[in-house]
Structure 1
């Protein structure tokens, strides 16, 4: 009895592994879908069907067109200004000269706007950051505008921020984002 229990599963094993083909009930050998038509172990399993090449696109009756790019306008260059500034809108280039407890900031005048500047302390502080105060600066009439920020701590790193709040507005009413900032500077 024990021998029968062991033999029955062993006899069913070839049928389980070979499927209906082991009993002669599957498709004939060599027919599509038969075991002989399946790839060899380790062979390619991707079946590639022959087809035709995709046709080339037909040229447009309107001809080729340049890609649509947003309009770009550059700030006007004042003919009497000798210094050449590299302008990267919307950033206004600025120069900062450190002095004793002060920073002297110079930038090219843009679109007759007035300006505001501030020096922002850079040391990391946990929690709420201290407020910074904007210093208003008139546009003037020359090629450049210069302002001095005083009362700074010597040896402390600062970054100077520049804002030109009256540079006009876009068609949607948004303000032109002309602004500038310096790298890290240290007053003496």
Structure 2
């Protein structure tokens, strides 16, 4: 009886290790790899020509989003939303930066021109654009182009300066 008890006590740790090894080797879980198979497609704003152009009141500003294709189409399953808007006008870039920092307001009152949100599919070769209609009576000056990429509950954004000329 004593020999059986000793054998059982000795076998418990061995049995526990064997069960643990069996669980690890059997890959208990969803069967999916925990390492990503690829990267998703990413979007950033925008072509240099989009912000270097001087716009006229009544003209549409087209924001051409830059697409960096991902390495795995299955990684593109999340919904992405691209937004862009112009706010201003400001007399110059330093006024715009002061306003962006919360220390100034536009001298003529702020106006905003906004594009409809764009929801790209992530398909190969896709080239999304946002169209911002600038009002016919838009005051001239520097405008803050504010853009954002919303994905998976997070937002990444930025800004740039765009000029609107006096109405010709």
Tell me the TM-score range normalised by the shorter chain. Answer: 0.3 to 0.5
Pair member with larger Rg: 1
Which has the larger share of strand? 2
**TM-score where L is the length of structure 1:** 0.36
TM-score, length-normalised on structure 2? 0.39
Higher helix share: 2
User: Relative contact order (alpha carbons < 8 A, sep ≥ 6): 1 or 2 greater?
Assistant: 2
